[in-house]
């Protein structure tokens, strides 16, 4: 119930403190956000793998859906596992509980 009251952006911003509690060291940045999208960068994450990147993407997608958003997409456009400087998640959603 508490998650449904939060906005997706607030939830993703909270991930900045939650994720480093599970993965150390880990550094997260949110360089861009609006009402229906956010870009998340994971800048520091030794030994990042594709499995972990997709696990994090799935967690973010499901968390945003739980807030009541529909048509959630999470795209990984850059990846530490591909030797980019950071992993970039581009996330879009539509607000509301309808179709």
pLDDT, tens only, 44-91: 999 999 999 999 999 999 988 888 889 999 999 999 999 999 999 999
pLDDT the model gives residue 63:
87
Residue 2: its pLDDT value, please?
Answer: 47
Q: Give the pLDDT score at 1.
A: 45
**pTM of structure:** 0.86
What are the sequence ranges of the domains in the chain? 2-94
CATH topology for 2-94 is Muramoyl-pentapeptide Carboxypeptidase; domain 2 (3.30.1380)
DSSP per-residue string spanning 31-43 = EEEETTEEEEEEE
Residue 35 C-alpha from the chain's centroid:
15
The CA distance from 61 to 41, in Å, is: 15
In the chain, the percentage of residues whose pLDDT exceeds 90 is 56
Tell me the average pLDDT across 31-46.
Answer: 93
């Amino acid at each position: 119930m508490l998650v449904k009251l939060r906005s997706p952006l607030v939830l993703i911003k909270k991930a900045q403190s939650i994720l480093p509690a599970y993965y150390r060291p880990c550094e997260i940045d949110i360089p861009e956000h609006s009402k229906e999208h956010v870009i998340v960068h994971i800048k520091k994450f030794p030994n990042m793998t594709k499995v972990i990147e997709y696990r994090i993407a799935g967690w973010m997608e499901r968390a945003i859906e739980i807030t009541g958003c529909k048509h959630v997409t999470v795209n990984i456009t850059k990846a530490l596992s591909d030797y980019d400087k950071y992993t970039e998640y581009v996330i879009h959603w539509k607000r509301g509980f309808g179709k």
